[in-house]
Chain A
Amino acid sequence: NAGVTQTPKFQVLKTGQSMTLQCAQDMNHEYMSWYRQDPGMGLRLIHYSVGAGITDQGEVPNGYNVSRSTTEDFPLRLLSAAPSQTSVYFCASSRDRRAEAFFGQGTRLTVV
């Protein structure tokens, strides 16, 4: 049972480049979410989805897009990377928004 799988684990981008962070879960969870983790700021919610075809903004959505075409996958897109997006990104899934969340291993992104 793989749980939540994120790829890549590490990425360096140049300012203005675009990329997609992949997230997949095999637990048939309806709720999925993306967080970023910065020093001294805990985890902040970027976007979330309560089911296939439904997404919504979290606390810090600017500069990021998401889609949820299947229950399993919830990719996060950076359209034009900025140095302020240098962070560690975590994808999580849970049965519903109140239930225990399972996190992926994280993607460490550096934008230069």
Chain B
Amino acid sequence: GESVGLHLPTLSVQEGDNSIINCAYSNSASDYFIWYKQESGKGPQFIIDIRSNMDKRQGQRVTVLLNKTVKHLSLQIAATQPGDSAVYFCAEYSGTASKLTFGTGTRLQVTL
């Protein structure tokens, strides 16, 4: 996973603060969205998903918000920890295209 990083937008947050990572998606027909976390040298790991008939879904310390009007997705991480430092990808799935399309990613850096 280290090859993804040269041109990534980076979000720096202090430990304990909340993080908000944003994603704009392209296909208004997309009906399923996923957030993945990728730590250095590892494959992407599923965090949370949301279907297009929902506008909010909560997990453990994470919340995904979906705004279909402006085609925007966000991932909120509460009480950010050093272990949250990683690259975060959103992905959209379109049933008509039958494929999952990944965004380019955002690097989250947690400072102590």
Closest Cβ of chain B: how far from A98's Cβ, in Å? 6
Q: Is there an interface contact between B3 and A100, defined as CB atoms closer than 8 Å?
A: no
Contact check: which of A4, A88, A105 meets B3 at CB < 8 Å?
Answer: A88
Across chains A and B, the number of contacting residue pairs, with CB separation under 8 Å, is: 68
Q: Mark A53-72, 1 if CB is under 8 A from B, else 0.
A: 00000110000000000000
Q: Is there an interface contact between B7 and A39, defined as CB atoms closer than 8 Å?
A: yes
B76 at the A/B interface (Cβ < 8 Å)? no
A7 at the A/B interface (Cβ < 8 Å)? no
Interface size class of B (residues with CB under 8 A): 20 to 34
Q: Is there an interface contact between B6 and A103, defined as CB atoms closer than 8 Å?
A: no
Q: Is there an interface contact between A43 and B1, defined as CB atoms closer than 8 Å?
A: no
Q: Is there an interface contact between A43 and B44, defined as CB atoms closer than 8 Å?
A: yes
Contacts of A43 in B (CB 8 A): 44, 89, 91, 102
Instruction: Provide the bound-state CA to CA distance between A105 and B44, in Å.
Output: 8
Knowing A37-B3, A98-B93, the reply to whether A106 touches B43 (Cβ < 8 A) is yes
Secondary structure dominating the interface of B: loop
Contact check: which of B1, B34, B100, B103 meets A37 at CB < 8 Å?
Answer: B1
A87 at the A/B interface (Cβ < 8 Å)? yes
Contacts of B34 in A (CB 8 A): 100-101
Contacts of A87 in B (CB 8 A): 3
Q: Is there an interface contact between B8 and A90, defined as CB atoms closer than 8 Å?
A: no
A residues sitting closer than 8 Å to B (CB atoms) are 4, 35, 37-45, 48, 58-59, 87-88, 90, 92, 97-98, 100-106, 108
B residues sitting closer than 8 Å to A (CB atoms) are 1-8, 32, 34, 41-46, 49, 89, 91, 93, 98-100, 102-105
